[in-house]
Structure 1
């Protein structure tokens, strides 16, 4: 394999309007494209971070819930790199997003913390 980079991450949400507001207005992702697929009664929102396409946000009617806790099998969490963790935590908290206590990675000695999207998907911010 000659992978170059991760192209995108796909997320299926339970409430499209709520998740769109969270990722766009609270986390600051840019909208690249929004499509309503009538045949599937489904929205697809392409989101960019710093001009780079990164997340596909989908809505599907009656999508089943998925257990989401840190030690479950499957994707554990999505992590975003920040320059100033404490400032990022303050900004998230000001926007009504609850974060866990800041921790320090015992191997890299970098600080990090977790928060959740509207469907409980674990998200991490990790200081560079």
Structure 2
């Protein structure tokens, strides 16, 4: 088996409209396709970043909560590259998003910080 790349990341949200607005209006993902699956009472939203398909956003009625703190088992966080982390943090804060203080990775000397999506999924900004 020779893996080529990560194809997509699937996220289940509790408030479809809030998460759709967060990922599109705030983070700038573009919508590839939006499908309502009546048999499951579920939306599936395919999102792209810079033309590359990257996120499937799902809604399911009564989806159970999952621990989302950074040290829980499973997916720790989803990281996005940014050119200027201070500008990105300022923009998030302008929209009322809580963002941790910017830190510097002691091994790479790159700056990074964390914030959360509407369901508390930990998201990272990593300055390249």
The TM-score by the shorter chain falls in which range? over 0.9
Q: TM-score, normalised by structure 2?
A: 0.98
Q: Residue 44 of structure 1 aligns with which residue?
A: 44
Q: How many residues align?
A: 128
Give the deviation of 1:98 after TM superposition.
1.2
Q: TM-score, normalised by structure 1?
A: 0.98
Cα deviations by residue, 1:96-128 (Å, 9 ceiling, x for unpaired):
211100000000000000000000000000000
Q: Residue 126 of structure 2 aligns with which residue?
A: 126
Q: Secondary structure at the match of 2:126?
A: strand
Q: Secondary structure at the match of 1:31?
A: strand
Alpha-carbon distance in structure 2 between the residues aligned to 1:52 and 1:97: 25
Q: Residue 72 of structure 2 aligns with which residue?
A: 72
Give the deviation of 1:20 after TM superposition.
0.4
| 2:58 maps to 1:58 | yes
Give the unaligned 5+ runs of structure 2: none
Alpha-carbon distance in structure 2 between the residues aligned to 1:89 and 1:62: 32
Alpha-carbon distance in structure 2 between the residues aligned to 1:33 and 1:95: 26
Give the deviation of 1:88 after TM superposition.
0.7
Q: Residue 113 of structure 1 aligns with which residue?
A: 113
Give the deviation of 1:91 after TM superposition.
1.0
Alpha-carbon distance in structure 1 between the residues aligned to 2:2 and 2:123: 28
Give the unaligned 5+ runs of structure 1: none
The two structures, once aligned, show a CA RMSD in angstroms of 0.5
